[in-house]
Amino acid sequence: MELEFIRRLRERLPPRQGDLLVGPGDDAAVLAWRSGGNCVVTTDMLTDGVDFRLSEADPRRIGRKALAVNLSDLAAMAAVPVAVVVSLALPRTASLELAWELYEGLLPLAVEFDTYVAGGDTNAWDGGLVINVTAIGRTTERGPLLRSGARPGDAIVVTGDFGGSILGKHFDFTPRVREALYLGANYEVRAAMDVSDGLSLDLGRMCEESGCGAELTLSSIPISAAAREAALRNPQSDTPLERALSDGEDFELLLAMPLEEASRAAADTSLGVGLSIIGRFVAERGLYAIDAAGNRTPLTPRGYEHRFGP
Ligand SMILES: [Mg+2]
């Protein structure tokens, strides 16, 4: 990384304390890891044209998102964020100012979630902007939350509401770190993940890992105002419910909890975000929808999937 850039970054970063012993500027970062718990590592790469369009978006929002998606994955594991490293591949046509703007979006969120930028790498190349963040967290006494713990009879629980994130939430969402830690510490949570690719698709993935199926009560799905607005733009093919079930990038938590625990948590006002019980896990494999009349029909999981190969 260019020396002048590192100097500027060091000036901008909060003073080092806690677990970060050596930050940006040396060959590698050093973390003390005094606080116990296991080390949780996650990484997410955002690319121009797939996760954002640099020609249309404020680079600060892109930088913020690159960190937020990683914090969301730490939240899904009920891990406390500790440090992040940031790798940038800038288009050769862009100035180093672009890197700075990305950091200007990312740094306030790092401060908000009490996590350090421990280092990174900034390069230029002939392709579009690529931003990769790797986040390091630690588990609490509760241990990590996994996707594989859902059991038949457990309630399907979600934070917040769903659909239409393309209208803004996919940039400006709040990673549910505090909520996941709070729920993990105060309630019995059997499984968790963050919904990044679509509610029904990700629920299918949790079922797969847990070896069970799920019944969704359609009238209980929290549909966002953005999902209604997005559906209005294409009323022939879209309904708000369909958008809530299949749109990607909600970055809400999806949890499996014993029903009694879920009911207690849903009434807990200190959580700070709405919690909805949207169905239950069942022994029979597959996803099923329960409509207002009580009819049960198979539900095809839909959402965003990266395409590979020719
Ligand atoms: Mg995830």
pLDDT at 3: 83
Average pLDDT, rounded, for the chain: 95
What pLDDT is stored for residue 145 in this prediction? 97
Average pLDDT over residues 234-249: 93
Cα-to-centroid distance, 74 and ligand 1 (Å): 8
- Backbone phi and psi for residue 90, each to the nearest 5 degrees, phi listed first: -90, 145
Question: 157-192 pLDDT, tens per residue?
Answer: 999 999 999 999 999 999 999 999 999 999 999 999
Q: pLDDT-based confidence at 2, cuts 50/70/90? A: confident
CA–CA distance, 225 with 101 (Å, rounded to integer): 30
- At 181-223, the pLDDT tens digits run 999 999 999 999 999 999 999 999 999 999 999 999 999 999 9
5: which strand partners? none
Q: What percentage of the chain has pLDDT greater than the value 70? A: 99
271, two tokens: 């959580």
- Return the HEC string of 193-226: EEECCCHHHHHHHHHHHHCCEEEEEHHHCCECHH
- Whole-number Å distance, alpha carbon 144 to ligand 1 midpoint, is 13
- Give the distance (Å) from ligand 1 centre to CA of residue 306: 14
**Please, which pLDDT band fits residue 1 given cuts at 50, 70 and 90?**
low
Report how far ligand 1's centroid is from the alpha carbon of 192 (Å). 9
**CA 133–ligand 1 middle distance (angstroms):** 14
Higher pLDDT, 310 or 21: 21
Token readout for 60 is 């600060």
C-alpha 8 – ligand 1 centre gap (Å): 32
Neighbours of ion ligand 1 (CB under 5 A): 73, 194
Centre a 10 Å sphere on the Cβ of residue 293 and count the other Cβ atoms it contains.
Answer: 5
Distance 85 CA to ligand 1 centre (A): 18
The pLDDT of residue 13 is 87
For residue 202, how far is its CA from the centre of ligand 1 (angstroms)? 9
Distance in angstroms (rounded) separating the CA atoms of residues 310 and 307: 9
Residue 72 alpha carbon to ligand 1 centre in Å: 7
253-306 residue pLDDT tens: 999 999 999 999 999 999 989 999 999 999 999 999 999 999 999 999 999 877
Q: Residue for token digits 């892109």?
A: 62
Distance of CA 6 from the midpoint of ligand 1 (Å): 30
Distance CA 210, CA 281 (A): 10
- Give the residue among 215, 177, 170, 224 at the shortest CA–CA distance from 62: 170
pLDDT digits (tens, 9 = 90+) for 88-124: 999 999 999 999 999 999 999 999 999 999 999 999 9
Mean local confidence (pLDDT), 141-145: 95
- What is the pTM assigned to this prediction? 0.96
Burial 217-234, CB ≥16 within 10 A → b, else e: bbeebbbbebbbebbeee
Asked if 81 and 115 touch (Cβ cutoff 8 Å), the reply is: yes
Give the distance (Å) from ligand 1 centre to CA of residue 301. Answer: 17
Q: Please, is 158 exposed, middle or buried when counting C-beta atoms within 10 Å of its C-beta (0-12, 13-18, 19+)?
A: buried
> Which residue from 239, 251, 262 is spatially nearest to 199, judged by alpha carbons?
251
CA of 212 to the centre of ligand 1 (A): 19
- Per-residue confidence (pLDDT) for residue 29, from 0 to 100: 94
